[in-house]
Amino acid sequence: MGVTHAFGVPGDFVLSLFALIEASPLTMVNTCDEQGAGFAADAYARVNGLGVVVVTYGVGGLKVANAAGQAYAEMSPVVFVSGAPGKQERHDQPLLHHKVRFYETQLRVFDQLTVTSAVLDDRETACREIDRALHTALLHKRPVYIELPRDMVGVSVPRPTTIDRPVVPTTDPDALRAAVDETVGRLRAATRPVAFLGLEVGRFELLRPAMDLIERMNLPTAVTLLDKSAISEQHPLFLGVYAGAMSRPEVADYVEASDLVLLLGSLLTDVNLGGGPSRLDRARSIHFAEGRLTIGLHAYDDIRLADYLGAIAAADLPRFDITLPANVDNGATTWRPVPDAPITVARLFERLATFLTDDTIVIADPGDALLGALDLPVHRTYEFFANAYYASLGFAVPASIGAQLAAPGRRPLVLVGDGSFQMTGMELSTSVRFGLSPIVVILENGGYAVERLMVDGTFNDVLAWDHTTIPELFGSGVAFDVRTEDDLDLALAGVLERADDVVLIRVQLDPTDVSPAMRRFATGFAAAAVATAKN
Amino acid sequence: MGVTHAFGVPGDFVLSLFALIEASPLTMVNTCDEQGAGFAADAYARVNGLGVVVVTYGVGGLKVANAAGQAYAEMSPVVFVSGAPGKQERHDQPLLHHKVRFYETQLRVFDQLTVTSAVLDDRETACREIDRALHTALLHKRPVYIELPRDMVGVSVPRPTTIDRPVVPTTDPDALRAAVDETVGRLRAATRPVAFLGLEVGRFELLRPAMDLIERMNLPTAVTLLDKSAISEQHPLFLGVYAGAMSRPEVADYVEASDLVLLLGSLLTDVNLGGGPSRLDRARSIHFAEGRLTIGLHAYDDIRLADYLGAIAAADLPRFDITLPANVDNGATTWRPVPDAPITVARLFERLATFLTDDTIVIADPGDALLGALDLPVHRTYEFFANAYYASLGFAVPASIGAQLAAPGRRPLVLVGDGSFQMTGMELSTSVRFGLSPIVVILENGGYAVERLMVDGTFNDVLAWDHTTIPELFGSGVAFDVRTEDDLDLALAGVLERADDVVLIRVQLDPTDVSPAMRRFATGFAAAAVATAKN
């Protein structure tokens, strides 16, 4: 199925499986902590189409519950494989180590966090159960859970002659005809339509047919933060990143004044909408997401996205004359350091814009690392990714491990805040161990900047770390200390000379300095965070 | 309820609660990652009697699932408080950030990992629900979950006039009489009895009545690894740590040859039994654990431990003449460094034995850090603890934060392997931030030594870190590099001069050197780990 790497931490309930994996063509990537394995596999799945985590029972499985939650929320097909106590020893000894409550406790937890689970406790059904679980992950683009009692490792099993695939929902042809008639009618009646390329287009590998429609109709195309880089930002039809009140004003104005918004697979989450109520008019929207096509105020539940795109393509479609607002170029060709000027968030991202190449993969952690990157002009499709919906801090560093292993030849540019880095930054040890070369830009501002703008207190501070000492800790890599624009320029020049190393760039910012998008974002979200005391 | 510190990481769904905590007499201890908060609160609960974690929804809650699992397994009463989306916004916006699947997903996960949960979504019941949850934690000595929708923070609530306590199971007087008659009869008939002081004796604060019985009868007393230090190891009745085949032979022989084993609240887990089948004869045992009293081959389910101890105390009890095997003194008074001799695991623990004082609290992480400490002669009761049943690697460093805050004036001695340290060692940043002074002994052997003895492969290796650079990373503390016995002596002398600092002692061991207990342990466990391929 195209998987070449698995991610995990060994433990005695899964040791013999690790030995089998080591003897197989799969490369086992040991992370420092199971959390890192979960995030690395999630990123691997986003790039490669399927990812695998292998952990031990209890202490391993429950440590990746959060990664499973994120994979579910953001539609990343990750297979969580857990060792487990043997069938026989469960009877012989009621108190085996790593057990929480019942031997089934972990399975029940993962039932909440995955689309299906399989316990390989029966040699007659084991192969069919594996097939069913893997194909379910691919069908729904969501995580699945496979539990392997350790006394089943090495058991000989009958090989099934057919693959047990889950039932695939089919499109109702009458509903499809009605929906396409409506869609095409609305497109023909539109004068200033906008398309959104969403998560599901990429996950279900429908970018080509979606882009064909967009290019045939000359549709201006926006993305949400979660979907940034679904369309190359150098494409002439790229409108911008839409994020409600958090958008650049010309992008927000264009989208919100449009008379038809065609959202293909976008998730209208609160973050994607920039906080506050949606400013998109449902009556003027066509929205496909999570198996439902909503046209204006009514919905169809029995149409698949691939069939929908195909049927639209067969219709007689209009072509629009458009004038797009000028795209921000972020000073991409003109950046020059102002001598001795302290570095700011805005200037950092302007400089990074000039640093991107066709071989970069940008991974942004939640916070200003993400919001500051809103207008970073990425070159290729799927060159940028972020967990912009589930928004688990600390994703980006371990994600870079999975992303680079899934896309060898491309170099991750990791954008991460200092608070997030304290959660999972040590996974750079794994990058060193496996010969990876992420460039990690740490936005150092002493804490959780976005929360300071909502409700402040000492709880939003973190201890100042001297990140430049980290290469010594790992015995590898290089670190740059950046306080001024000159420093940044020198550091990015230095990065290119260290093509095979882990590189850290510690960017020391004024703690009150945030990106314009972040300021707009926090304003939107602060109201909800402090909707207290007033009730 | 005696809680002065809470542990957590803020996030927007819990921010206004953090602000209220900051304004309250509680001290909020921010950890680097939520996992650290979960483990710190678990340790705090073990020392203090109740611990509190405060996290945000989804990305916070699911990160502490594993810590909740451990608290459940090892009977640590931790209150997991999670912020959550407001009641109103759940209706207005189906895709709020941090959501996995349903808004109830996290609650359902914690239902598997706690003894009760409370959602504070109703002002009429909120106070009663809080009381019920807290008292349930204390009744069962297990974790509970409280979820607080953020639009309920600051809502005025009716104060209940009575506290809603859970129903406390009562002892059946007839069953108690029968059980005590049997117990006393068996004690009178015994010639060489042994007592075990187990987990529940400490958790339910029954050490005084249990020790009264033991001292009245002059009963030799053993503990399991999970319960080490329930009796002072300087007490004349202390027999040793019993761990099946992993025990010192004279301890195992004494216990297994005994004609009556009285186990008070001990968990007979596989680790506590040293791996393999139990070598304790059920017919010659009386065992109270998890609400059940088993005498020989039959059981009583309606007797509480406190009542049982009280009724035995009222009986006419025998007093035994005993001769205990000499206790190992670990060279406690005689350790002298052999010049230029490379340090070994055995010699490390012999030296540490001389380093313990009445103010030490030893926290051992699973692996040789724990097994090597089997015979470390701790001074006071509850001076040693370890997660020897659930055995989640990486517990000890964050545990030291909770333990020291719960027992000010005592200094944690943390014993941790290099593999475990890579999981959670960065929480020493939290120790620095909150002015704590753990002594962290890192057993550096390049990986997971215990697993190497079971099934080996490169997956048991970790990257070598230069741990001595860590004080520079945090801008505080001191580190010692130990390769020889002389180095160790110098380091431990240096520790005493740095009474207020985080101190790291990096002990570089031969990767093949393990403690004798570990070697016996791995032999017992390897059979199960490789019970494969042979089926």
Full pLDDT tens readout for chain B, 535 residues = 999 999 999 999 999 999 999 999 999 999 999 999 999 999 999 999 999 999 999 999 999 999 999 999 999 999 999 999 999 888 888 888 888 999 999 999 999 999 999 999 999 999 999 999 999 999 999 999 999 999 999 999 998 888 778 888 899 999 999 999 999 999 999 999 999 999 999 999 999 999 999 999 999 999 999 999 999 998 999 999 999 988 888 999 999 999 999 999 999 998 888 877 788 999 999 999 999 999 999 999 999 999 999 999 999 999 999 888 887 665 566 789 999 999 999 999 999 999 999 999 999 999 999 999 998 988 888 889 999 999 999 999 999 999 999 999 999 999 999 999 999 999 999 999 999 999 999 999 999 998 998 899 999 999 999 999 999 999 999 999 999 999 999 999 999 999 999 999 999 999 999 998 887 777 767 666 665 434 3
Structure tokens at A110: 């993962």
Q: Which of B98, B106, B448 best tests the A interface by mutation, with the highest count of A CBs <10 A?
A: B98
**CA–CA min distance A322, chain B (Å):** 32
**Are B100 and A63 a contacting pair at CB < 8 A?**
no
Q: What is the pLDDT of residues A91-123, one digit of tens each?
A: 888 888 888 999 999 999 999 999 999 999 999
What integer pLDDT is reported at residue B533 of this predicted model? 39
> How many angstroms separate the CA of residue A344 from the nearest CA in chain B?
24
Q: Does B194 touch chain A (CB under 8 A)?
A: no
Name which of A59, A72, A470 is nearest B473 (Cβ-Cβ). A470
Q: B531, A86: Cβ pair inside 8 Å? A: yes
Q: What is the spatial distance between Cα B90 and Cα A270, in angstroms, rounded to a whole number? A: 11
Query: In this model, does residue A304 exceed pLDDT 70?
Result: yes
Size of interface A-B (CB pairs under 8 A): 300
Q: With an 8 Å Cβ cutoff, is B140 touching chain A?
A: no
- Retrieve residue B424's tokens: 């959670």
Nearest beta carbon to residue B97 from set A93, A101, A269: A269
Q: Residues of chain A with pLDDT > 70: what percent?
A: 97
A71 confidence band (pLDDT: 50, 70, 90): very high
ipTM: 0.96
The mean predicted confidence, pLDDT, of chain A is: 93
DSSP class per residue in A220-285 = -EEE-GGGTTSS-TTSTTEEEE--GGGS-HHHHHHHHT-SEEEEES----TTTTTSSS--S-GGGE
C-alpha of A402 from chain center = 11
Q: Which residues of A, range 23-52, sit inside 8 Å of B by Cβ? A: 28, 30, 32-33, 35
Q: CB–CB of A154 and B429 under 8 A?
A: no
Length, in residues, of chain B? 535
Asked whether the beta carbons of residue B65 and residue A70 sit closer than 8 angstroms, the reply is no
Residue B72: partners with Cβ closer than 8 Å, 6 or more residues away: A100, A101, B113, B114, B115, B142, B143
Measured distance CA(B479)–CA(B483) in Å, rounded: 13
Which of B10, B89, B429 lies nearest to residue A465, judging by beta carbons?
A: B429
Query: Does residue B81 sit at the A interface (CB-CB below 8 Å)?
Result: no
Closest CA to A198 of A289, A119, A277, A106: A289
Helix (H) / strand (E) containing A504: strand A503-508
Cβ of A18 and B459 within 8 Å? Answer: yes
Whether residue A533 and residue B154 make contact (CB cut-off 8 A), yes or no, is yes
The reply to whether residue B15 touches residue A529, judged by beta carbons under 8 angstroms, is yes
Choose among B139, B263, B241: nearest CA to B194: B263
Residue A389 sits at the chain B interface (C-beta within 8 Å): yes
User: Distance (Å) from the C-alpha of residue A336 to the closest C-alpha of chain B?
Assistant: 32
The pLDDT, as a whole number, for residue A528 is 64
Query: Which of B393, B412, B423 has the alpha carbon at shortest distance from B505?
Result: B412
- Give exposure, A143-178, as e/b (b: 16+ Cβ within 10 Å): bbbbbbbbbbbbeeeeeeeeeeebeeeebbeeebee
Tokens 């349930």 -> residue:
B136
pLDDT score of A521: 76
Length of chain A: 535
C-alpha distances in Å from residue B215, one per residue of A520, B284, B320:
70, 21, 10
Q: What pLDDT is attached to residue B534?
A: 41
Q: Do B528 and A12 touch (CB under 8 A)?
A: yes
Query: Residues of A with CB below 8 A from B28's CB?
Result: 459
Is A66 in CB contact (< 8 Å) with chain B?
A: yes
Residues of B within 8 A of A528 (CB-CB) are: 12, 86, 89, 150
Q: Does B86 touch chain A (CB under 8 A)?
A: yes
The pLDDT of residue A532: 47
Q: Which of B121, B140, B150, B473 has the highest number of chain A CBs within 10 A, making it the mutation to test binding with A?
A: B473
Name the β-bridge partners of B193: B260
B58: nearest CB among A108, A390, A430: A390
Strands A298-300 and A292-295: antiparallel
Q: What per-residue confidence (pLDDT) applies to B532?
A: 47
Tens of pLDDT, residue by residue over A176-191, are: 999 999 999 999 999 9
Q: Between residues 411 and 430 of chain A, which touch chain B (CB distance below 8 Å)? A: 422-426, 429-430
Q: How far is A359 from chain B (nearest CA, A)?
A: 28
> Using a CB-CB distance cutoff of 8 angstroms, which residues of chain A are in contact with residue B58?
66, 69, 73, 390, 392
Token couple for A18: 């690790």
The pLDDT score that the predictor gives to residue B330 is 58
Test B464 with A475 for CB contact under 8 angstroms.
Answer: yes
- pLDDT tens string A341-392: 999 999 999 999 999 999 999 999 999 999 999 989 888 888 899 999 999 9
Whether residue B154 and residue A424 make contact (CB cut-off 8 A), yes or no, is no
Q: Does A481 touch chain B (CB under 8 A)?
A: no
B98/A391 touch (CB, cutoff 8 Å), yes or no? yes
- Cβ neighbours of B523 (radius 10 Å): 16
To the question of pTM greater than 0.90 for the whole model, the response is yes
Q: Give strand pairing partners of A146.
A: A81, A118
Q: Which of A152, A389, A531 sits opposite B97 (nearest CB)?
A: A389
A356 lies within 8 A of chain B by CB = no
Tell the residue number behind the tokens 């009463």, with chain if given: B77
Looking only at the bridges linking them, the beta strands covering A292-295 and A285-289 are: antiparallel
Cβ of B15 within 8 Å of Cβ of A530? The answer is yes
DSSP track, B272-324: TTTSSS--S-GGGEEEEETTEEEETTEEESS--HHHHHHHHHTS--------P
User: What is the nearest CA distance from B522 to chain A, expressed in angstroms?
Assistant: 10
Q: Tell me if chain B has a CB within 8 Å of the CB of A16.
A: yes
Q: Which helix (H) or strand (E) holds A216?
A: helix A207-217
CB contact under 8 A, B390 and A11: no
CA pair distance A163, A354, nearest whole angstrom: 49
CA distance B273 to chain A (A): 10
